[in-house]
Amino acid sequence: MVSPPGPASGLVAPDAGLDVNTVIDLGSLHLDVSFTAPPGATVAILGANGAGKTTLLRLVAGLWRGASGHVRLGELVLEDSAVGRFVAPERRPVAMVFQDFLLFPHLSALDNIAFGLRCRQPELTKAAARDMAQVWLERVDLAGHGRSKPGALSAGQAQRVALARALATDPKLLLLDEPLAALDASTRSFVRSMLAEFPGITLVVSHDHVDARTLADHAIVLDNGSVAQAGHPADVLARPRTPSLAAMAGLTLLSGVGDGTAIVFAGGLSVPCSLVGPAFVALAPSRLDLATHCSADDDRDNAAADNTITGWPGRVSTVTALGERLRVEVATDAGGHIVAVDVAAIEAERMLVDRPVLVRVPHAAVAAYA
């Protein structure tokens, strides 16, 4: 079971970890987030656009000051509104990789990396900083690109320079905003292994459930400025509570009310379940099936006879090709719920928009949770 959302949910932090409790009102967004992360943890921050993911990173970095709350990193109190403490971003042992990299356009790739080194270690000479930067360039497999200006780098190369620039400052906390978005598959696995070697705490904002599963050992889901879910990424993604997280995980999310024998959704659709009270049902499109060959009434009779499958009549609303499969979205006749079903590409000619179909829901495919 997933632990209920709330302060410090799920992630029990020893003193040496990260402890964030921050509130800020930005007009369009009221952010109120608490979470903790143990030393060495990688925490995926998931959620829809505008849910507050980047805002949270900026608050932890000190680029914005929270209206109240605290940010503690091990022994360091980076921010504590109770005592009026606020450590400026340049004095926090925190590095950030921005979504669009923000490499300084007037500095070469090498000097971009050396910049942070010299800021964090003022005793370094220019030459020494450049030597260290060169080592970092080699580490991200860009040894020959030191003299290139950011404008001459590909997105993947710029991304790696940005990552090297952040890691070179030897942060205790690394903040990554969509770190793998611009990378091709081979670079992704390269960067993943680099992040795995990073000893500090990492917060990583992501839109990609694969990134969340492979990079992170914890996940928090933001919804409209607050923590909607927290826990292990696989658990969180298997039991989404917000439509955006369900979409990210590729699941259909329905919410209904359980009466002890079934969960009933708006419009009267139901699936058998013993839960009582408000409940969610997540359905994986690959585990559902569509019937189009006979009349819905026949099929409903069949489904009724087979007490391991429930049938929901509806009409095809959209069809999208996904490689070998077709993702068919069906609007159910009862309640107008949109249910995604994967079918073989060979079925394409039968999946006409507005055609009546029957969504077959095997009871074994129903993941229900309160």
Task: Pick the stretch among 17-25, 94-102, 199-207, 269-277 that binds another protein (CB under 8 A).
Answer: 94-102
∠ Cα 46 224 318 (to 5°): 70
Question: Considering the complex, what minimum distance in angstroms separates the CB of residue 15 from another protein?
Answer: 25
Nearer to another protein, 116 or 231 (CB): 116
For residue 340, give Cα distances in angstroms to 68, 295, 359. 42, 21, 9
Contacts of 259 (CB under 8 A, 6+ apart): 276
Q: Which residue has the tokens 């370094």?
A: 124
| 102 binds another protein, rule: CB under 8 A | yes
Question: How many amino acids of this chain bind another protein (CB under 8 A)?
Answer: 25
| 61 binds another protein, rule: CB under 8 A | yes
DSSP per-residue string spanning 286-351: GG-EEE-SS-HHHHHHHHHHSTTEEEEEEEEEEEEEETTEEEEEEEETTTT-EEEEEEEGGGGGG-
Q: What is the C-alpha separation between 163 and 354, in angstroms, rounded?
A: 48
Nearer to another protein, 195 or 366 (CB): 195
Per-position x/- string for 166-185, each x denoting binding to another protein as judged by CB under 8 A, each - no binding: x--x-----x----------
| 165 binds another protein, rule: CB under 8 A | yes
| 95 binds another protein, rule: CB under 8 A | yes
| 90 binds another protein, rule: CB under 8 A | yes
Per-position x/- string for 63-82, each x denoting binding to another protein as judged by CB under 8 A, each - no binding: x-------------------
Nearer to another protein, 62 or 225 (CB): 62
Question: Considering the complex, what minimum distance in angstroms separates the CB of residue 158 from another protein?
Answer: 13
Question: Considering the complex, what minimum distance in angstroms separates the CB of residue 150 from another protein?
Answer: 11
Contacts of 353 (CB under 8 A, 6+ apart): 316, 317, 318, 319
Q: Which of 16, 26, 29, 88 binds another protein (CB under 8 A)?
A: 88
Longest dimension (CA), the chain: 81
Task: Pick the stretch among 102-110, 132-140, 187-195, 302-310 that binds another protein (CB under 8 A).
Answer: 102-110
Structure tokens at 49: 């656009």
Q: Which of 24, 48, 71, 96 binds another protein (CB under 8 A)?
A: 96
∠ Cα 287 327 185 (to 5°): 95
Question: Considering the complex, what minimum distance in angstroms separates the CB of residue 91 from another protein?
Answer: 8
| 116 binds another protein, rule: CB under 8 A | yes
| 98 binds another protein, rule: CB under 8 A | yes
Angle between helices 109-120 and 155-168 (to 10 degrees): 20
Q: Which of 24, 44, 115, 299 binds another protein (CB under 8 A)?
A: 115
Q: Which of 30, 120, 207, 350 binds another protein (CB under 8 A)?
A: 120
Q: What is the C-alpha separation between 335 and 71, in angstroms, rounded?
A: 45
- In the sheet with 218-223, reading across from the earlier edge strand, the strands are 85-86, 76-80, 68-73, 18-25, 30-37, 226-231, 218-223, 42-47, 201-205, 173-177, 94-97
| 89 binds another protein, rule: CB under 8 A | yes
Amino acid symbol at 78:
L
Nearer to another protein, 85 or 106 (CB): 106
Question: Considering the complex, what minimum distance in angstroms separates the CB of residue 31 from another protein?
Answer: 18
Q: What is the C-alpha separation between 185 and 192, in angstroms, rounded?
A: 11
* Residue ranges that bind another protein, judged by CB under 8 A: 58, 61-63, 88-92, 94-96, 98, 102, 104-106, 115-116, 119-120, 165-166, 169, 175
